[in-house]
Amino acid sequence: MSEVCENLNEVLGHVSAACLRAGRNRDSVQLIAVSKTFPADAVRDAVEAGQDVFGESKLQEAEPKIAALPGSLHWHFIGRVQRNKVRKLLQNFEVIHAIDSLRLAAYADEIAGELGLFPQVFLQVNVAGEQTKGGFEPDMLRAEMDSLLKLKRLEIIGLMCIPPAGPDAGSARPWFVALRELRDSLEAEFSVELPALSMGMSGDYEVAIEEGATHVRVGSAIFGKRAYRVDGELG
């Protein structure tokens, strides 16, 4: 058995255990294997182990990888979205996790129209108000929600966050709670369903599941330590 396969099985075990602890159905959580910086062969190992949902954060790196792998896989874009990459992102990825402004959302909606697509997206929330991170400030999101919901093409399935790095798994819990509560209040205020919460990474996905995550984005716990940093905000 490959190391990736062993790691994946271990992570899946933790996902199931967290669901059990939280009294949640195992089907309510999707594991996204974040393969950024790792080659197509590593993805193949994970596919052999039964994984078919993958996350990437750079278009340039992801495009050839996606092209080299079976068309049956599901690709999520978890990185920061650059306007000039929107068209290709929509052509390559089923789900975009980090729509971080109304302007970007409106543009993606327009391009989705040109491409005849109805992409699923998450709205990224800057839960801790960090200067270095993208995302809607919660008040701004509330103010722009009506406009966001008018977009015809984007299927806004929920909220996503990348909390500040902390000393242990538990330190992200308050931010996961904050994202869930923001989601709950937006649902009530705007009579809309936002069923999905994209939160939790290798260090804290179990806590995220306990707090309601429906999509956990796990990279290094499956593929190993990354040899280089991918972007400014996450290694």
Ligand X SMILES: *Cc1c(COP(=O)(O)O)cnc(C)c1O
What is the contact surface with ligand X in residues (CB under 6 A)?
Answer: 34, 36, 57, 78-79, 162, 201-203, 217-221, 234
4 versus 153: smaller Cβ distance to ligand X: 4
To ligand X, the closest distance from the beta carbon of 103 in angstroms equals 21
To ligand X, the closest distance from the beta carbon of 219 in angstroms equals 3
36 versus 65: smaller Cβ distance to ligand X: 36
d(CA 87, CA 98): 15
Around Cβ 224, how many Cβ atoms within 10 Å?
14
180 versus 215: smaller Cβ distance to ligand X: 215
To ligand X, the closest distance from the beta carbon of 162 in angstroms equals 5
Residue recorded with tokens 């270095």: 132
69 versus 221: smaller Cβ distance to ligand X: 221
Using CB positions, name the residue nearest to ligand X: 219
Tokens standing for 62?
């992801």
To ligand X, the closest distance from the beta carbon of 199 in angstroms equals 9
Residue recorded with tokens 């509330």: 142
Q: Across-strand partners of 136?
A: 125
